[in-house]
Chains A and B, each alone.
Chain A
Amino acid sequence: MSEKKPEIPASFENARTKTAGKAAAAPKPLSIRDALYEPPGPKTRKRTAIATGISLSALAVLILLVIRQFYITGQLAPKYWTFFARKTTWKFLGKGLLGTLEAAALAGVLAFVMGFLMMLGRISRRRILRAVGTGIVEFTRGVPTLLFIYFFFLVVPRSGIKLAAIWKIATPVAISAAGVVAEVLRSGVNAVPKGQTEAALSLGMQHGKIFRKIVFPQAFRYITPALIAELVIVVKDTTFSYVVNFPDLMQNAKVLISNYDALVQIYFVTAVVYILINYLLNRISVTVADRTGTTL
């Protein structure tokens, strides 16, 4: 290239200084929420505050009523709660929690891999692959999770295949989620504007590379919240672990219940733990969505 540059027209210089000012004024990247919703005005904020107040009071009343009912039926008696002071109780529940997390993580990974392959079939330019993909997606979405679990618990072992308990729960849960994952992925791919592909084609990139470098990374950003929502369902589906005797949180909770005869108390604690897990996942989803908002 030549050393001497063509002189830069005045309009270029203007453009430069203009944006320098703009950049300083907008230090925070635009998030999806900022882009989609107007910030609430004073009236809206007041109304939101009132609604929040009413909801919170209602919730407090409800909780009080429940506690009262428990008191009347004797569920608050010390014998139903003292075992929570024992370390072994928490150790046992913790082990169960670990099992839940392991099963959910394994199922999540499996569901993503299977869903990805199914999505590739769905968007294939070959009609046969598309048909096969559609068939599998509809099948996995239509059949209840529990049926898949019984299949892996009762039918698969008969064919001589020996699976560890975690696979007996994670695989069917994953299959059941994979169809949804495939459709979520596909909607993300379809949401990427066609111009992105055309620009890449015009640079001489080939379809496989365009998918990997341009389309999929953008699709993935669009759908991360939906994928995490599906992970919440996967976590909840692992509560079927008791069917295959895999020691997850639910299964261990059941053991404790029969040991201490304290159904309400243990289910209460267990429910809180599940809510915490899924709340955490939702927080991650919101954070991720906000962080990737700039690319929309």
Chain B
Amino acid sequence: MQQEPWTTGESSAPVRQETVREDAPPVIELRNVDKHFGELHVLKNINLSVKRGEVVVIVGPSGSGKSTLCRTINRLETIDSGDIFIEGRHMPEEGKELSALRSEIGMVFQSFNLFAHKTILDNVTIGPVEVLGRKKKEARAEAMELLKRVGVDSQAGKVPAQLSGGQQQRVAIARSLAMHPKAMLFDEPTSALDPEMINEVLDVMTELARQGMTMVIVTHEMNFARRVADRIIFMADGNIVEENTPEEFFMNPRSDRLKDFLESLNRK
């Protein structure tokens, strides 16, 4: 089996830059994507390309279309027009092929969405067993390994409601990782968490970034963004208004919208 870069734990590379592969085709590519919710134009001609190993952070005011963009990547939202490619393959609109391609992209939700009737361990094994056809025993062994890595292996036999939010979100990350995804999407993974639990989730994500996982992250945690992002994208009113490296993004914002946005953050 192909060895994903993030599974080699010994990497102690700095979080940014070194893991980005310029030569490989982009893992995620959106071309001219448009979407409406009724009258509302939520995504306006979006073009986005994410290279292998790249960490792209999306920021912007509430309602600007960040979640919608994130969700269109694996077609949890339909689009009106445009194209989505995963490693150069066109993302089909429905059917088995869509499911297969979805299984290659991990997704972590704001509200965790762990399967409420299943144990922590079963939450992590259900994907490999039901979708990839892996043997239960193997899947369990690997799941325990992953749970250990995110620090919740001692909770394996419990159900999600018995865990704290931070623990649940770390399990959700492990559940995605169990599918050996080519990329992972995070939609405000820490927004539903109590402040003291935010870091335990961000630490896991930082570790993933360090190990070379390709990631698209919607977040309001600016310090975290500055630390892990290769590129930060600013969205407003359904547009990608500006994108840049973290330094440039925060030090030299070009558009007034971004300047206003950064200022509003400082005021808080």
Whether chains A and B associate is yes
Which residues of chain B are near A213, meaning CB under 8 Å?
126, 130
Pick from B114, B159, B200, B207: contact of A199, CB below 8 A: B114
Check B179 against A204 for contact (C-beta < 8 Å): yes
Check B161 against A5 for contact (C-beta < 8 Å): no
Check A199 against B130 for contact (C-beta < 8 Å): no
Pick from A8, A13, A202, A203: contact of B126, CB below 8 A: A203
**B99 contacts the other chain (CB 8 A):** yes
Check A204 against B7 for contact (C-beta < 8 Å): no
A108 to B10, CA, bound (A): 60
Among the 9-residue stretches A113-121, A156-164, A214-222, the one with 4 or more Cβ atoms under 8 Å from chain B is A214-222
Check B127 against A203 for contact (C-beta < 8 Å): yes
Pick from A2, A11, A20, A199: contact of B113, CB below 8 A: A199
Smallest distance from the beta carbon of A42 to chain B beta carbons, Å? 30
**A296 contacts the other chain (CB 8 A):** yes
Pick from A2, A200, A296: contact of B161, CB below 8 A: A296
Pick from B96, B105, B113, B176: contact of A198, CB below 8 A: B113
Check B151 against A2 for contact (C-beta < 8 Å): no
**B9 contacts the other chain (CB 8 A):** yes
**A6 contacts the other chain (CB 8 A):** yes
Check B109 against A199 for contact (C-beta < 8 Å): yes
Check A295 against B200 for contact (C-beta < 8 Å): no
A138 to B103, CA, bound (A): 40
Which residues of chain A are near B228, meaning CB under 8 Å?
none
Check B207 against A1 for contact (C-beta < 8 Å): no
Mask, B91-132, CB within 8 Å of A = 1, is 000001001111111110101011111000000001100110
Check A201 against B154 for contact (C-beta < 8 Å): no
**A55 contacts the other chain (CB 8 A):** no
**A85 contacts the other chain (CB 8 A):** no
Question: 5 closest pairs, A vs B, by CB?
Answer: A204-B103, A12-B151, A195-B113, A202-B107, A199-B113
Q: List residues of chain A with CB under 8 Å of any chain B CB.
A: 1-2, 4-6, 8-9, 11-16, 18-20, 22-23, 26, 29-30, 193, 195-196, 198-206, 209, 213-214, 217-218, 221, 294-296
